[in-house]
A and B are shown apart, each in its own frame.
Chain A
Amino acid sequence: MHLIAQDLVNGILAGGILAVVALGFSLVWGIMNIINLAHGAFIMLGAYTTYQLFTSFHVDPFLSLPVSFVLLFALGYLIQRFIMNWVARAPVLTTFLLTFGLSLLIVNIALNVWTGDTRGVTTAYSGANFTLGDVTVPWAKLFTLLAALAITGVMQLWLTRSRTGRAIRATSMDIGAAQLSGVRVTEIYAIVFGLGAGLAGVAGTLISLSYALNPSMGDLFLVKAFVVCVLGGLGSVPGALVGGLVYGIVEAFATQIDVTVGGQHISGSGLQDAIALVVLLIVLIVRPTGIMGKATA
C-alpha cells in the first residue's frame, strides 16, 4: 500500500516538471502551428544557465529561474524575428527542418562550451527530504513542483487577462481578423516563440535540480514534451499541467511492473516510455483532442 502512495507522490512530483517542459512547446505548436524541434535544446540551455550561475557565482537554482527565462526569451524572440518569420505559415516540414537545424547548432555550440561531460547541480538541500507516514518527499522536488504550479498559473492568468495574452489567443483563432484589429502578427509570433523558449529555459532550470546535465539531454525531454502536449491538448495551459501530471503518474507506476513471462523477466523501469506511449494511444482513441483539448473551433 505504501508503495502505491509513494508512486503517486513521485509521479506528481515528476509531473510538475513535465508540465513546464511541455508548456512552451504546446503554446508554440498550438498558436503558431510550429513543432519546435529546438525545444529540447532550449531546455538544455536553461539547465546549463543554472549550472553556470551555480558553479561560478553560487546562485541558488531557484533564483536563476528568472535569468533562464529572460535569456531564453530573448534568444527565442530573436530567432523568430530574424529567422523563423521568413518561413511563417510555411508547411510543417519547412519549420521542422529549420528547428531541427537550430537544435543541432545549439547542441554543438554547447558541446564546445561545456564539453560532453555529465554535470550536476548539487545544492546543500539536494539530498534533503522529509517523510509523511510511509512516503518520502525530497524538498527540492517539492519546491520544483510548487514552482511548476506557480509558473503554469501565471501563464494561464497572463494569457487570459492581459492585453498581449488576449491578442495571442485572438491571433491563434483568426490571423486576418487579428490584423484588422491592429495586431502585428510578426510581433505576436516573436513573443510567443520567445515565451516558448523562455518556458523551456525555466523547465531546464527545474530539471537541473533532479537530473544530470549533458548537451544532448534535451532530446529525451523533447519527446516527453511532445507526448504531454498531445495528451493534454494542444496550446492549452491547463492541458499541459494535466498532461504532465498524468504522464508523470503513469511513468511512476510503470516502474513497479515486475513480472516474469515465459521465463523472461520484465521490469517496469525499462518499459516506462513504452507504457506511457500506450497510455497516450488510449487517450487519443478516446479523446482525439487530448484530455483538456477543445473540439476544433
Chain B
Amino acid sequence: MNATANALVIEELSAGYGDTQVLWDVSLRVEPGEIVALIGSNGAGKSTLLGAVSGIVNTWSGGVRYGSAVMSGLEPDRVVSAGVVQVPQGRRLFGSLSVEDNLRMGAYLRRDREVDADLEKILAMLPRLRERYDYLAGRLSGGEQQQVAIGRALMARPKMLLIDEMSLGLAPVLVDQLIEILARIHATGVSILIVEQDVQTALEVSSRAYVLETGRVTLSGPSAQLLDDPQVKKAYLGV
C-alpha cells in the first residue's frame, strides 16, 4: 500500500490550546517501516502531539517533517495527502453514516480508480466489516467500531499511521485481534506510531518507544529495554 516510505521527524515541538502549553520541546522520530510507541499517563499530551502532527492542533514552535516535507502549519488535508493519517482516540466514526460510507470517507481526497479495489482489500482483511457493511457505524460494538476507524484510515493509503488509544475500553481478546491486524498492516510496509495507555501492549508490539510525562519526553529507547526498566515498571506496569 505504500509508495516511498519516509521518516516522521518531530523536532523540539511545543504546542497547546489557548494559553495553556501542553507539549514542551518534544522530539521524536519514526523511521520508515518502524512501529514506535508513545506511552504515558492520562493528560501527558500524547493526543495533543498527534493532533499537532495532523494539523488540527496549532504548533507553537519546533516542527514536524515527513521526509523532506514540512508538515507543521499545513492544513489537515495536506497532511493526509502526504500519507500521514490518524486513527483518532475514541474512534470518532460518523455515527449516522453506514460502515461503507465511513470507509469511503477515508478515501475522500483520492481521485484514482483504485478506491473500490482498496475497499475490497480492506474488507478481506477485516471480514467483520463486510457483515456490517450497511449498518450505521453508531450501532456497532466498540471492537467493530475500532476496525472501521482503522479501515477508514487505510482507505487514505497511508504510509504512516498514527493510532491514538486503540485499546481504550476494549476487552483484552479484542485488543489481541487488533494487534494482529496492526501486524498485517505493518507487513504491507506502513510505518506506525501508536499512542497507548496500555503500556504493556504498546511495548510488546513496538520496536522503540518514548515515554511522555507532563508534556516532555522523559525516557526513550528500544521497547524491550523499556519493558525491563525499573522506572517504567514502577510507574506504568504496576510491578
Contact = CB atoms under 8 A, between A and B. Distances in A.
Contacts of B86: 180
B77 A179 contact: yes
B156 interface: yes
Interface in A171-192: 173-174, 176-184
- SS of A interface (majority): helix
B105 A181 contact: yes
A166 interface: yes
B94 A182 contact: no
B101 interface: yes
A43 B36 CA distance: 56
A233 to B, nearest CB: 13
B76 A179 contact: yes
A163 interface: yes
A89 interface: no
Interface residues of A, number: 18
Given A166-B104, A166-B105, A181 B156 contact: yes
Contacts of B92: 174, 176-177, 180
A163 B94 CA distance: 14
Given A166-B101, A169-B97, A182-B81, A177 B108 contact: no
B75 interface: yes
A167 interface: yes
Contact of B77 (A166, A173, A176, A184): A184
A167 B76 contact: no
B152 interface: yes
B109 interface: yes
Interface in B133-154: 138, 152
Nearest to B54: A180
B93 interface: yes
B104 to A, nearest CB: 7
Interface in B57-97: 75-77, 80-81, 85-86, 88, 92-97
Interface residues of B, number: 26
Contact of B105 (A176, A178, A297): A178
Given A181-B156, A183-B77, A173 B108 contact: no
Q: Which of A166, A181, A184, A297 has the most CB of B within 10 A?
A: A181
Contacts of B88: 176-177, 180
B125 interface: no
Given A163-B108, A166-B104, A182 B80 contact: yes
Contacts of A176: 56, 88, 92
A30 to B, nearest CB: 12
Interface in A158-214: 163, 166-167, 169-170, 173-174, 176-184
A170 B55 CA distance: 19
A173 B56 contact: no
B156 to A, nearest CB: 7
A167 B96 contact: no
A1 to B, nearest CB: 44
A174 B138 CA distance: 12
A182 B85 CA distance: 9
A170 B75 CA distance: 18
Nearest to B77: A182
Contact of B94 (A170, A179, A184): A170
Interface string A285-297: 0000000001001
B106 interface: yes
Contacts of A174: 92-94
Given A166-B101, A166-B104, A181 B138 contact: no
19 contacts: A167-B108, A170-B101, A170-B105, A173-B94, A173-B95, A173-B96, A176-B56, A177-B93, A179-B54, A179-B55, A180-B80, A180-B85, A181-B152, A182-B76, A182-B77, A182-B156, A183-B77, A183-B105, A184-B77
Given A179-B76, A180-B54, A180-B88, 7 more contacts: A163-B108, A166-B105, A170-B105, A179-B54, A181-B106, A182-B108, A184-B75
Interface of B: 54-56, 75-77, 80-81, 85-86, 88, 92-97, 101, 104-106, 108-109, 138, 152, 156
